[in-house]
Amino acid sequence: DQQVKQNSPSLSVQEGRISILNCDYTNSMFDYFLWYKKYPAEGPTFLISISSIKDKNEDGRFTVFLNKSAKHLSLHIVPSQPGDSAVYFCAASRVGAGKSTFGDGTTLTVKP
Amino acid sequence: DTGVSQDPRHKITKRGQNVTFRCDPISEHNRLYWYRQTLGQGPEFLTYFQNEAQLEKSRLLSDRFSAERPKGSFSTLEIQRTEQGDSAMYLCASRPDRGRVETQYFGPGTRLLVL
């Protein structure tokens, strides 16, 4: 039973365009959501997060949207750059519970 | 700036052998996590420590796996009698008790191959 799902294993976009990565979750107890980025041969690095009391959080080119009723979140990257090419993991937590539950990742390729 | 470090970065072993991995978290990070990642999947939680106390263990962590954090600083993950299914990337992460909620800082991982 996978509680966090990223249904698109890969996404390819042109440089300068918008990248939209999607994530769905099933556990309504999750109240904090994070996106991590991973380059080959490195561990995941934190990108952006959102609390369940918000529906949007923005940090530079990165915006995360949360739709609690749909149990869905998305990461928007505008404009996309070739250096954004990486695997993006969605993760969900219960504040104070300790661990995070990760999706299987989406490989983003930004073409010059 | 010293991030989370893991040693070794790569390990090849034969089935049935024991292996031990080490993780050094960011200094003063109270919480330390171990995850396992296989190809095409996201990190799966194994266990975590707050200081030296092991607070949670996943049911993925069979009796052959044991983790320790004896002085609340570095941690070790041991796998006894390795099986081919143990081949994976083992990731360590740490975070402070305070600060950005739930954000974890990951090391580069130890890639294990069991022949």
pLDDT tens per residue across span A45-59: 999 999 999 999 999
Cβ atoms of A35 and A75 closer than 8 Å: yes
**Which residues of chain A register pLDDT less than 50?**
none
What is the predicted pLDDT for the residue at A82?
Answer: 96
Residues from chain B contacting residue A42 (CB–CB below 8 Å): 108
> In angstroms, rounded to a whole number, what is the distance separating the alpha carbons of residues B54 and B107?
19
DSSP 8-state class, residue B101: T
Per-residue pLDDT, averaged over B77-89, amounts to 96
pLDDT confidence of residue A104: 96
Partners of A87 in beta bridges: A38, A107
Grouping H, G, I as helix, E, B as strand and the rest as coil, residue A95 is coil
Q: Which residue(s) pair with B67 in the sheet? A: B77
Interface test with B, best of A27, A57, A87, A100 (most B CBs within 10 A): A100
How many CB pairs below 8 Å do chains A and B form together? 61
The pLDDT value given to residue B99: 63
Q: Give CA–CA dist B80/B77, Å, rounded.
A: 10
Identify the band that residue B41 occupies on the pLDDT scale cut at 50, 70 and 90.
very high
Residue A20 has a pLDDT of: 98
Q: Is A42 on the interface with B (CB under 8 A)?
A: yes
The SS3 of residue A62 is: strand
Mean pLDDT, residues B65-91: 95
Whether pLDDT at B43 is above 90: yes
The pLDDT score that the predictor gives to residue B79 is 97
Mean pLDDT of B48-53: 92
pLDDT band (50, 70, 90) for residue B75:
very high
Whether residue A37 contacts residue A28, with contact meaning beta carbons closer than 8 Å, is answered with: no
Distance between the two ends of chain A, CA-based, in angstroms?
38
- Rounded CA separation B41/A39 (Å): 14
How far CA B95 is from CA of A40, B26, B101, in Å, comes to: 22, 8, 9
- Confidence (pLDDT) at B101: 65
Number of other residues whose CB lies within 10 A of the CB of residue A18 = 13
The residue among B31 and B98 whose pLDDT is bigger is: B31
Higher pLDDT, B103 or A78: A78
Chain B: residue whose CA lies nearest to A93:
B102
Chain B residue numbers with beta carbons less than 8 Å from the beta carbon of A49 are 100-103
Confidence at residue B100, expressed as pLDDT on a 0 to 100 scale: 59
φ, ψ of residue B96 to 5 degrees: the values are: -80, 165
CA atoms lying within 13 Å on the CB side of residue A62: 15
Mean of all residue pLDDT scores within chain B: 92
Mapped onto helix, strand or coil, the DSSP state of residue A32 is strand
Res. B1 pLDDT band, cuts 50 70 90: low
CA distance A29 to B88: 29
- B101 compared with B91, residue with greater pLDDT: B91
Q: What number of other Cβ atoms are within 10 A of residue A24's Cβ?
A: 18
Which pair of structure tokens corresponds to residue B102?
């739930």
pLDDT at B34 over 80: yes
B104·A4 Cβ contact <8 A: no
Q: Average pLDDT, stretch B34-49?
A: 94
Closest to A24 measured CA to CA, from A3, A38, A42, A10: A3
